Structure 1
Amino acid sequence: MPEPRLAVRAVIVEDGRLLLVNAFRDAASALWCAPGGGVETHASLPENLMREVYEETGLVISVGAPCLVNEFHAPESGFHQVEVFFRCRLVSGALRDDWCDPEGVVSRRSWVTREEMAALRVKPDSLARVAFARGMGYDPLERLVSP
């Protein structure tokens, strides 16, 4: 069985809105998540996160303190991912419709309020609570949901 994959995600709240991106390559998927992705070796978690957010959104961020640890799995395939979420601040850039994720995964990006999040499929389940509050959260093993 493969080892858990380590990923980093950015919690960026600007003017009462959280930045979300589509969670799967399939643009028809209704699932949203915080921007970020798998870590590469020989780079720190913040360095990986700054790279991932730029690739997915074109935004430059500064990385702050961790605020959530989440893990999820797909028992059928053995996939298991541990994600560390960091509070981040926008340094420069703006969302553009013509931005292209070089990995071709993220095709939609949106700033949403907590109220707007309630009408979306967002993972992990605790993201809204953590994003719009203070402190640290931990989500125990969640089952991976389909797009």
Structure 2
Amino acid sequence: MSNRSPRLATRALILEDDRLLLVNAFRGGVSDLWCAPGGGAVVGQSLHDNLIREVWEETGLSIAVGAPCLVNEFHDPRRGFHQVDLYFRCTVVAGRISDSWRDPEGVVTERRFFSRTEMAAIRFKPDTLPEAAWGVGESLYDPLELLVR
């Protein structure tokens, strides 16, 4: 068991035309796992400002941040890694998805919108992503699970 604090990250659930925006956040596309855009929180920056910055870097989109809707946590006990992701419902206020966009950090290599039906054919995390994105109820909690690549 590690004495380090969990890493905190923010993620955006962006629905457009009933399709959810997902990114492949693996340098060089080494995994086919998709997730919501976002990233690690920066000390001294609000969670909303952090999310706005991360989404712009990864997608080129400007967003408005809405209500939180999911808390997810995962870990890799071998490395002592533990991350807590806070998901917020967001809307696009400017920009379009473009294949020519480059993530300044080079992490996100692909970005696209998926329908709920299309999501059945891809690998994504967390498992509760569709329920959180298309659900209308209370916020969800997805308990600690092992890190998947």
Asked if these proteins are the same fold (TM beyond 0.5), I'd say: yes
Cα pair 2:21 2:113 within 8 Å, conserved: yes
Q: CA RMSD in A?
A: 0.8
CA distance in 2, matches of 1:26, 1:142: 25
Cα pair 2:11 2:36 within 8 Å, conserved: yes
Q: Secondary structure at the match of 1:51?
A: helix
Aligned to 1:142: 145
Using the TM superposition, name which of 33-42 and 17-26 deviates more: 17-26
Q: Percentage identity across aligned positions? A: 62
CA distance in 2, matches of 1:143, 1:134: 27
Deviations 1:74-97 (A, max 9, x none): 111111000000000010100111
Aligned to 1:3: 5
Structure 2 residue corresponding to 1:72, chosen from 65, 71, 74: 74
Aligned to 2:15: 13
CA distance in 1, matches of 2:107, 2:74: 19
Once the two structures are TM-superposed, the CA of residue 26 in structure 1 deviates from its matched residue by 3.3
CA distance in 2, matches of 1:83, 1:134: 19
Unaligned runs of 5+ residues in structure 2 are none
Deviations 1:13-70 (A, max 9, x none): 0111000000322313100000000010111100000000000000000000000000
- Give 1:25-104 correspondences, 5 Å limit: 25-104=27-106
Once the two structures are TM-superposed, the CA of residue 130 in structure 1 deviates from its matched residue by 1.0
CA distance in 1, matches of 2:31, 2:61: 23
Aligned to 1:129: 131
CA distance in 1, matches of 2:30, 2:74: 22
Aligned to 1:114: 116
Aligned-partner residue type, residue 141 of structure 1: L
Structure 1 residue runs of 4+, over 3 Å off?
Answer: none
Q: Secondary structure at the match of 1:26?
A: helix
Unaligned runs of 5+ residues in structure 1 are none
Aligned-partner residue type, residue 21 of structure 2: L
Q: TM-score, normalised by structure 1?
A: 0.97
